[in-house]
Structure 1
């Protein structure tokens, strides 16, 4: 399990920075799907029992959720996810209750079976009598050890430290959430980020330095992170000098994406708000798709201009789609959207190399997202 929070002194980890727009920079929905699957535990279990259809359904009763975080820690986490996917990207992670999915994941091994792999084959959202997704699949010994290392860490146990000590997500969250509250209290005493001007200029330019300082002056001194106005929470989250906070953001951002847009059986995506926002039908089996849904094209959306010609009706269809996308977003005339698309094998390798770290993912994708100024933008494909 996680350790007690430290006093709040910054650690010695490499400082890292936050970007809310990393999903678009990483190549859009395809990369998002590939990135979320391991974070949400939505993979296929390799347990021997999973070979039979009945085993895929899990136990007879739904697997209950457990909690790892305290009520105060959950309030701080809710305030954090609210800034990682804010309400201006309606409806936002707080409305989707992504913090509950994260807490359930941290407490995965406090239930039996662990809350890692949802069962199958169907939920009850498309005609099935029962929701099989609520019954999670038991893990084999190898899977259990691997996931305990991720969630709980090695904890000094010899059987877990065959590759050296590992800090688990429970400890990262507990230390990081405590640090957020410490930083909130420090703001009222005048302890501001050394890079205050740069943070405001880069991330809070629409608010302005005077407004930020006025909000700091209005603090009583007993506020926690959850009590701060949104700009002051951003001020803490965007401070690259606080390694403890940045270590938390590094894991919390992909976990927040999973909690917002993943299946609700993992604890988030309340009332399917994440899927509604993305205009995603969700799981449609056993009913399946209607003939109309299969045959007729969707209405153009704001990102259709990013698709290659093979997704439209030739070059003419793609141009029309791009124009429709520009009109949909309110952008007049021509929209120029430079885009690099890596072959799927390369993209998969990049995601694996990132090892679950947001910072590492952005670093791995840098050659694709920041090409030379004179680069020629082309589409690439895996096969003819």
Structure 2
């Protein structure tokens, strides 16, 4: 077993709990498998063939219904590891009764509705956004009860900037009311947002970084969008670059680290992190046991089974948040994030400490 995973496996045997406060979204996720005639439509390529071939309809089978949303997924991973999770989200639906009762939950209204089409390469999500989430204002976080939840947390996880127009007020509240905290931001898909929303995210990160340690956790498409704005190249190149291309079309870890480092400097971050299918990369300085190296890359586990990719990145960010909050090194924190994400992809579940330890042993031996 390679060093970071060996260290993480040992730590998972005896975790000291930390507390994580997660906000602000929530969704009801219905997972579907598709068929065309007698054949499974198991890949995006097969889906395209069916549509281009003139298929008037496809049969769908609901494989699962589960509580979803970035904050919800992060809270579920936090609780699964035995940590104290507070969830401030949009949870007014019976599906959230399935959440671990140890999660302290506060609802702001109705969740979004998401149909997840499961494909071998990656899921396709069809989203009906929540009106309550779209009209929600983060100013509500200034109430005594919710401020206490933020104060008491070892880490604050903020997800889904893309779907929550009210998050700037939440960042203002954190910047003005919370100090010396770890804030992990996972912004969600950014490619469809206007330039002012992207610039607003960078401004919000800088504001919160003035009094807190901020970590930005991104997939490759999100990194492409934010890096282009941070270096002033937004709008240059073709439309595919604005939206982000597949991992195979993009740069290797050295270039990733350089772009992350530029983004870290532009937004005054402690760490800028990329979570990708084959590795996680971080750029930053300071913090953790022995400090965070200027650039750190940790290879991911390979899995030949893809149950679902939905929520894997959120679980990565949750693992990253709890590890950094506990004082782990950047390398170990990335390794835990990788385990949380890949376990989700391979099993469709949310790994406990025991399950992740066994998964690490089986995968890295």
Bin for the TM-score computed over the shorter chain = under 0.3
Higher strand proportion = 2
More helix by share: 1
Greater length-normalized contact order (CA 8 Å, ≥ 6 residues apart): 1
Bigger radius of gyration: 1
